[in-house]
Amino acid sequence: MPKKTLSLIMLVAASAAMLAWGQEKTTPMTLEECLVRAMEKNLGLQVQVLNPTMADFRVSAAGEKFLPSFSVDYSKTNNESKATSYLEAEGLVSTVNQNSYSAGLSQFLPTGGRLRASVETGMYNTNARYQTYNPYYSAQVLFTLEQPLLKNFGYNISRREILVARNNSQIAEATYKATLLETLYSVEEAYWNLVYSIENHKVMLESLNLARNLLQQNKDKLAIGMLAPIEVVTAESEVASREADILQAEVLIRNREDALRTLLNMHADNETDASVITPTDLPKAEKRDLATDAALALAQANRPELASAQYDISNKKLDLTWARNQLLPDLSLSAQYWSPASSGTQILYQDDNPLTGVIIGRIPSNSGQAFKDAMKFKYKNYYVAVSLSLPLNAIFSRAQTSVARAALEQSQLALKNQQEQIFLEVRSACRDVENNSKRVEAYETARKLAERKLDAEERKARTGLSTNYTVLQVQRDLALAKSQELQARVDLVLSQARLDRATGTSLTRRNIKITS
């Protein structure tokens, strides 16, 4: 295909693409608007924000261990059997009816023991002969204490699940904060990359217009015989090449817009979200004087990864304490204190002798009297016991303790490694900020010199002292200088954002607070 035909096709394609580009519906967005949208809509953050919530629920569930438990029991028994003697029961059928009720409160103690208070009542009725009370009522108030003295004893041992759950809750919050820092940086990086692509596209359009103007001037000179045809061909080739570069730049804009759109969770099925994102901010980095030592101190105080590692070490210490406690002998104290009482319908026999079998009267009663006597602690009873158990695995095996100790050492080493990685990241970010600041100044100077050089070459070309090739090359140099200056400014802004992320101050700098 002839070069002239190829150039015409590329010109038509580039013009159609640029026309479509300018006619699409746009949504102007500042960087702050993108960051706010990401915090509200980013799917990664929406997933991660549930972890602290679930961790809080686990803390509440672990704390329920110390809530008192209430129990109620009822039983009814009816026994019938054949009597072996007329003296045992009337009609040679022995019957016994029993009803029992109990209610109690049980409380787990911070020392590892358990305290239970209960009230028990019962009724006993039988047809057996020679009973002095029938029906018979019983009542009892009972206090029971079970307390380990060595193994499973202690405030931290009994509350281990709660302390671990609290640490895990802090770890979940720190992990969410780390994800938030990373997401904000990713949004900022995607935003400024899109800004660079759009602004660089403008630079390429300016360069294309310069080449087109030169091409038109060459055609005019060719028409009056002042220029050789080869000069027009050279200019046409350069125009076609720059048009091809623009097509590639527009694809890059689309790709980077999609990357930002994904971070902002902008769905194409929504009319507003489906429009083209148009950044309205330009890279303007404020000058910062932050020494490396100060940046390292900020990172030490603010990086959520370090806080998370510290809480993980706390968990490992709790595990080691518990493992050591499990090696102790199982020495436990048991104590009971109870107050029994009884009442019932008293059966009166002739001559006060039940053996006569002659009932002359009854003195009725009910369960209330037994319950009152029990609550008055009329009869005092107690029981105390100490038991000792020494499992053989506590003597011969230290595997669980060794595993816990190794896990603690591993977490401590992981913290040190994390600190080294963060310090390396901070030092690198500080150097990048300083270097990119100098690059901005250097490329700004280079761009100004390239503009002056192009102006000089164009004046020389008009007087015949310069060639088309030289002018086109200087035009490319100017476009490259503008692109490099723009890239340096974007790199400076991003390096400052990386420094904020490395020191953990991105949220503070943007006045973002994490609430429950």
Task: Give the per-residue pLDDT at 8.
Answer: 43
**What is the average per-residue pLDDT within 130-158?**
90
Per-chain mean pLDDT for the chain: 87
User: With 90 as the cut, is the pLDDT of residue 199 above it?
Assistant: yes
Tell if the pTM clears 0.85, that is, is over it. Answer: no
**Confidence at 287, pLDDT banded by 50, 70, 90:** confident
Give the helix, strand, coil percentages of the chain, each rounded to 5: 60, 20, 20
pLDDT over threshold 90, residue 516: no
* Best mean pLDDT range from 44-58, 71-85, 429-443: 429-443
- The pLDDT value recorded for residue 356 is 72
The model's pLDDT over 338-357, given as tens digits with 9 standing for 90+, comes to: 999 988 888 888 777 777 77
The residue extents of the domains of the chain are 27-58+162-318+404-509, 71-108+113-151+330-389
Q: Tell me the pLDDT band of 396, cut-offs 50, 70 and 90.
A: low
- Residue 402 scores a pLDDT above 80: yes
Q: What are phi and psi of 108, to 5 degrees?
A: -80, 135
Distance CA 188, CA 37 (A): 12
| Domain 27-58+162-318+404-509 annotated CATH 1.10.10.10 | no
Average pLDDT estimate for 273-277? 76
pLDDT at 17: 45
Calpha distance 390→392 (Å, rounded): 6
Q: What is the dihedral of CA 235, 239, 241, 247, to 10 degrees?
A: 180
Q: What is the pLDDT of residue 152?
A: 92
Strand partners, 101: 74, 121
| Residue 6, pLDDT above cutoff 50 | no
From residue 275, give the alpha-carbon distance in Å to each of 28, 41, 255, 509. Answer: 10, 17, 14, 30
Question: pLDDT tens digit string along 166-192?
Answer: 999 999 999 999 999 999 999 999 999
395 or 408, which is more confident: 408
- pLDDT tens, position by position, 206-234: 989 988 988 888 888 888 888 788 888 88
Nearest Cα residue to 371 out of 337, 342, 346:
342
Q: Mean pLDDT over residues 410-434, rounded?
A: 95
Q: Which one-letter DSSP state was computed for residue 89?
A: B
Average pLDDT in the 378-400 region? 82
C-alpha closest to that of 21 among 287, 273, 257 = 257
**386 compared with 396, residue with greater pLDDT:** 386
Nearest-10 crossing angle of helices 160-223, 50-63: 180
